[in-house]
Amino acid sequence: MKPDLHGQDRCSRRTGFVLLDVLVSMTILAVAGTALIQCFQASIDAQRRIKSRSQAIYLTQSRILDMEFLYYGMESVRRAQHHGSYRDMGFPDMAWEASVKVDRKRYAHEITVTTLWEQANKTYSYSMTTLVPLPRYDDRLVR
């Protein structure tokens, strides 16, 4: 073997990681780990929002069906406001508001139900509207 410039054999050199190599790799690992944790937290938050939104859709559909049964076949109502909570259904953090008005063009009650809830200091809402026909009486049919 030829001696190196400094008088050492090439084979006798120690190979391995230098402290600087280890520090650089640890820094890269820490940055990647932080990004991964933030992505994981964002996915958990999105899952919670989706779950709350799904519950709100289900509860709004349920309440709108109740309102349809209440107003089906009823004479013309000028305007009505209703409100309440879903505590009886096991959702104490969610509330609902409903408005009923008469749509003369369609000859129906227009019922709008809005479900409200708070999550992470923000208020969210989901609304749904339906039409319930007004009763029509034909004088020719009634004798």
pLDDT tens, position by position, 84-95: 999 999 999 999
Task: Tell me which of 119 and 11 has the higher pLDDT.
Answer: 119
Task: Tell me which of 23 and 138 has the higher pLDDT.
Answer: 23
Q: Which residue pairs, CB below 8 angstroms and at least 24 apart, start in 38-47?
A: 45/120
Global model pTM greater than 0.75:
no
Task: Tell me which of 124 and 5 has the higher pLDDT.
Answer: 124
User: How deeply is 63 buried, as exposed, middle or buried, from its count of CB atoms within 10 A (0-12, 13-18, 19+)?
Assistant: buried
At residue 14's C-alpha, the angle toward residues 9 and 15, to 5°, is 120
